[in-house]
A = this chain, B = another copy of it.
Amino acid sequence: MGVLKQAYQRSDICIVTGGLGPTRGDITRDVIAGLLDENMQIDPVLKENISGYFARMGLEMPENNLKQAMLIPSAISIPNPLGTAPGWWVEKNGKIIVSLPGPPGEMQPMWQREIYPRLENKGGAVILSRTLKTWGLSEARIDELVGRYMSLPSPTLALYAKADGIHMRITAKASHKNYAAELIREREAELRQILKNNIWGADNDVLEEVTGRLIAGKKLTLAVAESITGGLLSYSLNSHNLENGHFLKGSIIANDSEVRSSLGITEGPGPSEAGLQSAVRMAAIARDKFSADIGMAIDGCTSPDQISGTAKVFIAISMRESEHQFAQAYTWRPHQLVRRSVLHAIFNLRQFLLDMQ
C-alpha cells in the first residue's frame, strides 16, 4: 500500500503486475480500492466469465475465485483470454492505474492488445525502439565496432548480452512517429553495414523461427541427432516453428554408448579429429533414418579439459547429395555448453542455407 501510494503521488500512470490470484495473499485489488477510497463489488458479467471458464475446463469453481470478479466504480476490467484473473484499467483525478496479472504468458498479450493501444491514444512525444540481434561476436568486440554510436544523444544505442547473442537497441525520441522511425532506419542501415551477417534478426525475431522459415521456404526437411545437448536442439526448433509446416521430420537423442553403436556411430565422442567425424556420421544417420534432406548433429564430451577447464563440441550439417557439408569444433565453458551449442548449431544452419543460394 505504501509503495503504490508513493508511486501514485509522483506519477501520472502506475502499472502494477501480480497479486490478482484467488488466494488471500492476492491483495492488489484491495490496495487500489483502499487507495482510491472506493468499494469493491462483484461484477455479474465477470462472475459469469470466470464460472464459464471453469465449466469449459470441466472443473468446479472454487469459491475463492469469486474475488477475481470484483470491480470498483472507477475501474473497467481488461479481459484475460488465458486465465481467470481479469486486469483493471482505472482512471481517476487525471491519473491512470493499470493492474495486470503476474504470469508473463497472461500479462504480455493483455499489455499488447489492451493497455499499450490505450496509452498510445493518450498522445505526447513518441519514443520508438528497435532491437537488432547478433550472434558470433563478443559484447566487447561489438562495443569496439559500434561503440561510437553509444555516446550519441539520439538515437541512443545500448547493448544487451542475451542468451541468443548480443542485442543492440536503437531508441529515438521525436515529436512524430514517422520522424523517430526515420532516425532509427538510418542508424540501422549503418549498423548493418558494419556487422553484416552477424545480425540475424530484429525485434521479436527468434533465431529458431528465422531459420525454420528459411528451411520451409526452400521446401527442405531436416532431421536431428543430439548427444550432450539432450534434446534442446530438437525442442528449440520444434517449439518455435509450430505453424511452419513439419520441416523437422524427427530426432534421435542418444547418450548411451550401446545406443550409439547400435546406430552405427563407432567413433568418439572425444576431444580429437575423430569427434568431428563422429558428428558428421551422426548427421548423416539422422538424415537417412528420417528420410530428410538435411541432417544436423551436435556431439561432444561433457567432461571439461583438465588444464583449460573448457569442453569441446562438434557441430555437423550434412545434405543428402553430400557435396554440401559443414563441420566445426567449438570450445566452451561447461556451464555454457548446451545453450551455446544449440544456438551455434542453428546459426550455422542459417549460414549454410544462406550460402546455398
Instruction: State the interface size on chain A (CB cutoff 8 A).
Output: 63
**Chain B CB within 8 A of A70 CB:** no
Bound complex: CA A337 to CA B335 (Å): 29
Which A42-72 residues sit within 8 Å CB-CB of chain B? 56-59, 62-65
Could you say which of B59, B151, B290 contacts A24, with CB atoms under 8 Å apart?
B151
- Chain B residue with Cβ nearest A106: B335
The answer to whether B144 and A335 touch across the interface, beta carbons within 8 angstroms, is no
A350 to B: closest C-beta gap in Å: 19
Classify the interface of chain A: helix, strand, loop or mixed.
Answer: mixed
The answer to whether B258 and A238 touch across the interface, beta carbons within 8 angstroms, is no
Q: Which of chain B's residues have a CB closer than 8 A to the CB of A302? A: 242
Q: Which of chain B's residues have a CB closer than 8 A to the CB of A233? A: 231
Bound complex: CA A103 to CA B239 (Å): 24
**Chain B CB within 8 A of A256 CB:** yes
**Chain B CB within 8 A of A259 CB:** yes
A234 to B: closest C-beta gap in Å: 3
Could you say which of B58, B64, B252, B335 contacts A251, with CB atoms under 8 Å apart?
B252
Could you say which of B25, B105, B235 contacts A159, with CB atoms under 8 Å apart?
B25
The answer to whether B253 and A56 touch across the interface, beta carbons within 8 angstroms, is no
Q: Which of chain B's residues have a CB closer than 8 A to the CB of A147? A: 23-24
- Chain B residue with Cβ nearest A22: B140
The answer to whether B239 and A253 touch across the interface, beta carbons within 8 angstroms, is no
The answer to whether A231 and B250 touch across the interface, beta carbons within 8 angstroms, is no
Bound complex: CA A150 to CA B25 (Å): 8
Bound complex: CA A331 to CA B251 (Å): 26
